[in-house]
Structure 1
Amino acid sequence: MNETLSPALLERLPAAVQAPAYDRTALAPGMAHLGVGAFHRCHQAEYTDDLLSIQFDRWGVIGINIRPPSLADTLGRQSGLYTRLIRDNSHIEARVIGSIIRVVDSQASAAPALDVLSAPDIDLVTMTVTEKGYCHIPSSGELDLDHPDIVHDLANPQTPRSVPGILAKALELRRATHARPLTLLSCDNIPTNGVILANVVRTFAERRGNDIAQWIEANAAFPSAMVDRIAPAVMQDDLDSVEQRFGYRDAAVAVGEPFRQWVIEQRFAGRMPRWDLVGASFVDDVMPFEHLKMRVLNGAQTTLATLGVLAGFEHTSDAIADPLLAAFIRRMLVEETLPTLTPVPGMEPLAYVEQSLGRLRNTAIRHRNHQIATDGSQKIVQRLLNPIRDRLSQGASIDLLSVPVAGWMAYLTQASARFGKRWPVSDPYAGQVAAIADTTGDDAQALASGILAIDTIFDPSLAANETFRRAVTSALGGLLSDNPMATVRRNLKQADTTRLKRPARSA
């Protein structure tokens, strides 16, 4: 049986596998990361590994999971080491990443996480906890005070279980023990993610009292960031491929595409890793980069995922290989999404669209549509609803952007008994949407109205817009029919008619 990846194996790795280019035994912790999943291992941990190889410093990462999966039996047994595979169609590149020096499971109790986060040698906390981990209201970005975890944490501040509760408690402990400042850097796909993180932590702290909110204001920084790399969930085939190809076992493999990007707002409370030396960008304003990535790449992903499932495709690369969906997604982005964006330094919009579509065509990245569609209620505001709002304010058409909004609705209604429960749905609003669908039956207008009334997703002013309501209702009725792709084709033709009547305005 092949040996498992470990520090002892580093000097005996096959030549095809790149090893860390620094002495891991001398690496001390300087940052913590919440949410050690595939994306972190393909992105922030890799950037840190790059930096350590050219400028060694006290920037070892302590990885923390406060939600499943646990780390002890995978990453922990390998002393934080794992293989990062880059897949680009038929090409594969392997590298062992060494920047994670310790992992902490804190699912049963917040205490292990708090011990790390409050330690004086931790100057930075990064996080990839997914959109719903912030316990915020998607339509406003404010802390959801009715969220069960927030209700629990305010009543039991010594035993928090939410991200805002844990971070507020950690900052309280830091004030009491050593008063060292802390930078908290969100790496999740949320617009102005630093602002939202600051909102939820400070609001929670204000509810706690003890003047901790004022101390946080003076001693914590919440920079925004835009992160980008496609890193699908790891499958057993990925684990097996490392053993078969390279001759060792690795239970913590991460798989990603070649492209990566990281744009970070220059607003720090203290020491920061010089990630700008290895490809990241430190900027004054992240928002143009955020909007471009979320509305183009992420908007395309959400659209292809939900419509792809409705069309019977398992992976994004399968969906974009379909000529109809490929034509739809490109025209949606070029004709309706790009005009809502402000210029981004160094990026040509049409070239960015083509680059994004090329990335989604990578057949070696087996990104399941159901995975991308997970928690769609937390994503559609920034990816689809905000550009729709901008288009409506311009007096421009939403013939195409309205379809993926209806696609998200149709995708969730499949959890309803009325529509046969064709697939399991993972979304905080799945039960609510299913209940609406069960009540409204075949009436697409009533179904759309019921979903649009969820004001934590749909801002009331947008939900009341007659053009928006009409477009979404029409698309939803078609997508729930026996031939959902006929609606995609119909709306493409409708966009042609609209374009002839009134050319779309440019930003």
Structure 2
Amino acid sequence: MALPLSQQTLAALGQDVGVPAYDRRRLRPGILHIGLGNFHRSHMATYLDRLFTQGEAHDWAVIGAGVMPADARTRRRLSSQDWLSTVVDLHPEGSSARVVGAMIDFVPVASAAIVKALVDPGVRIVSLTITEGGYFIDPATGRFDAAHPRILADAADPRRPGTLFGMLVKALAERRARGLGPFTVLSCDNLPGNGVVTRSVVVGLAEHIDGDLAAWIRREVSFPSAMVDCITPRTTACERELVSRRFGIEDAAPVVCESFRQWVVEDRFCAGRPPLERVGVEFVDEVSGHETMKLRLLNAGHASIAYVAALLGYQQVHAAMGDPDIHDWLDALQAREILPVLRPVEGLDYNAYRKRIVERLRNPEIGDTVSRLCANGSTRQPKFILPALRDALGRGLPMAGLALELALWCHYCRVADDTPGLPSLDDPLASRLRAGAREAARSPRAFLGIREVFHDLAEFHSLRMAFAAWLGIIEAGGPRAAIRRYIDWGDHRSSSRQASYAGSS
């Protein structure tokens, strides 16, 4: 019979479950984490748990916080089990479980309570996982949206902030007034330049409120950028049942994730930090090279296999990666067109990283779905595929495979809603994409000219030519024939000859 998870039941759990070996009563808070979902517990909390187990940094425990209704539900679930979480690592050969005890409290989901916790001098790092959509970025410019109604509301009444960033600004103002010094704000969201983005929002809002405060924040507060990575699916009844059946734990909010974790952080902390390098975190002067590697290889890899996998009838990512053609398509695309536009970075082995990506994608225990990879292409493609395409076009390098990836996406947009078994088109621009895809065979600009996605890429004649040729091949022979043609193709041709080859019979 499964035991309800709590501090009192830890000693009774099975020997195959790891439990905190440190005295949680002696932990003291040092980090306030806002947005305490699954990823935080599989990632930061797990690193901290490992560090605490070594007898280190017991004054850097986590207090949870949040501003969304889901955060209140998480707080209730974790409160009933003394803030403990079961984290299950899903290995290809099986699973392992550990109860993570790095979190010791969770403030009420209310603005005043969060600001009070932020002002506590013991809090030296405020970390965030609030999703990309939580940063008030204008999608048209990629910059802080100072005219967003919620930002304007906080600027008009900074004493009663309604946004997380309003709460941060208010807390920093109070700390400054009391002579308490600042805290570091550390974004853990999968967002390029996440520290730069976070700084722009906090400083931008502060400038609306108090110019002197904004200058102080700009000068004194640290906003390090970080690259984070650990595939962490959402928890459903299936995951709760797995934890109960396999490990004998009744956990209201367990986390399942892959065993791979990576965290690369710029070493800029204005109020100190725990020595996380002792448990595998990499601290660097500048993180952009690691970010680019992940975006161009892992995230672009997801995007590259998504639509061809869906069109070939696969529902699970690991099953799709077991198809030799899909595997070889990804390998060829990365080798011929992604790697050549990546600048060398000392200490980074791109080929080793590629090999590890394939191992991760083939892990059947993760249960990652093709439909998840297909969703929101209009936001994923501009971040993961189009930057490499722009680099290739600008440098006259091969780009026919990237054009094929766009053609596969276009074909999927055209047929998804009318083909049984295909994931439906789940995208904020679904109607635009569908209409453009239906006209693309006659006019490539109908799809490539969707400026919210492609901006000016439709003006490149070589791209239009290659894209149209691949659409013809997909229409005539299907997606497998298209990727097979690319795979079988030598990697010594120029981009112009690739485009003409794509159009040959």
Q: TM-score scaled to structure 1, two decimals?
A: 0.87
1:96 aligned residue: 99
How far did 1:476 drift? 6.1
Matched AA of 1:442? R
Q: 1:172 matched to which residue of 2?
A: 173
Cα deviation, 1:383-435, whole Å, max 9, x if unaligned, reads: 2121111111220121112333455556566787x8899645555xx1xx233
Residue in 2 aligned with 1:5?
5
Q: Which amino acid aligns with 1:121?
A: G
**What is the aligned partner in structure 1 of residue 312 from structure 2?**
311
- Find 2:463's aligned residue among 468, 477, 491: 468
Secondary structure of 2:121 counterpart: coil
Structure 2 match to 1:219: 220
Cα distance 1:305–1:216, how it changes in 2: closer, same or farther (>3 A)? same
1:63 to 2:59 alignment: no
Q: How has the CA–CA distance of structure 1 residues 155 and 485 changed in structure 2, closer, same or farther, with 3 Å as cutoff? A: farther
Aligned counterpart, 2:438: 442
User: What is the DSSP-based 3-state SS (H/G/I as helix, E as strand, rest coil) of the residue aligned with 1:259?
Assistant: coil
Secondary structure in 2 aligned to 1:262?
strand
Alignment partners' CA distance in 2, 1:472 and 1:324: 20
Give the whole-Å Cα distance in 2 for the aligned partners of 1:259 and 1:333: 21
Query: Match of 1:76?
Result: 79
Secondary structure of the 2:74 match is: coil
Instruction: Please name the residue that 2:271 is paired with.
Output: 270
How far 1:27 sits from its partner (Å)?
1.1
> What CA distance in whole angstroms lies between the structure 1 residues aligned with 2:166 and 2:444?
35
Contact residue 414 and residue 437 of structure 2 kept, 8 A: no
Shift in Å, 1:315: 2.1
The yes-or-no answer on 1:42 pairing with 2:28 is no
CA distance in 1, matches of 2:162, 2:468: 39
Distance 1:144 1:479 in 2: 40
Aligned residue pairs total 496
Task: Report the equivalent of 1:358.
Answer: 359
Distance 1:112 1:389 in 2: 46
The CA deviation at 1:449 is 3.9
Q: Is the 8 A contact 1:400 1:492 kept in 2?
A: no
- 1:21 corresponding residue in structure 2: 21
Specify every segment of 5 or more residues in structure 1 that has no aligned partner in the other structure, as ranges. Answer: none
Q: Distance in 1 between matches of 2:154 and 2:450?
A: 25
> SS in structure 2 opposite 1:221?
coil
Q: Is the 8 A contact 2:186 2:224 kept in 1?
A: yes
Q: Note the alpha carbon deviations across 1:301-358, whole angstroms, 9 max, x for none.
A: 2222343333332222122112221111111111111111122333322222112111
Q: Which residue type is aligned with residue 465 of structure 1?
A: F
CA distance in 2, matches of 1:21, 1:278: 16
Is 2:413–2:437's contact at 8 Å kept on the other side of the alignment? no
Q: How does 1:121-132 map to 2 (within 5 A)?
A: 121-132=122-133
Distance 2:305 2:148 in 1: 30
Q: Comparing 40-49 with 232-241, which one deviates more in the overlay?
A: 232-241
2:33 matched to which residue of 1? 33
Paired with 1:463 and 1:409, the residues of 2 have a C-alpha distance of 14
The more displaced of 347-356 and 277-286 is 347-356
Tell me how far apart the structure 2 counterparts of residues 301 and 472 of structure 1 sit (CA, whole Å).
20
Contact 1:20-1:98 within 8 A present in 2 as well: yes
Q: What is the alpha-carbon distance in structure 2 between the residues aligned to residue 156 and residue 479 of structure 1?
A: 56
Q: Report what 2:502 is aligned to.
A: none
SS state at 2:127 partner? strand
Change (3 A) 1:499 1:345: same
Instruction: Give the structure-2-normalised TM-score.
Output: 0.87
Does the 8 A contact of 1:33 with 1:61 survive in 2?
yes
Contact persistence 1:314–1:368 (CA under 8 A)? yes
Amino acid of the structure 2 residue aligned with 1:48: L
Could you say if the C-alpha distance between residues 142 and 121 of structure 1 is closer, same or farther in structure 2, counting changes exceeding 3 Å? same
Q: CA deviation at 1:252?
A: 1.6
Q: How does 1:277-356 map to 2 (within 5 A)?
A: 277-356=278-357
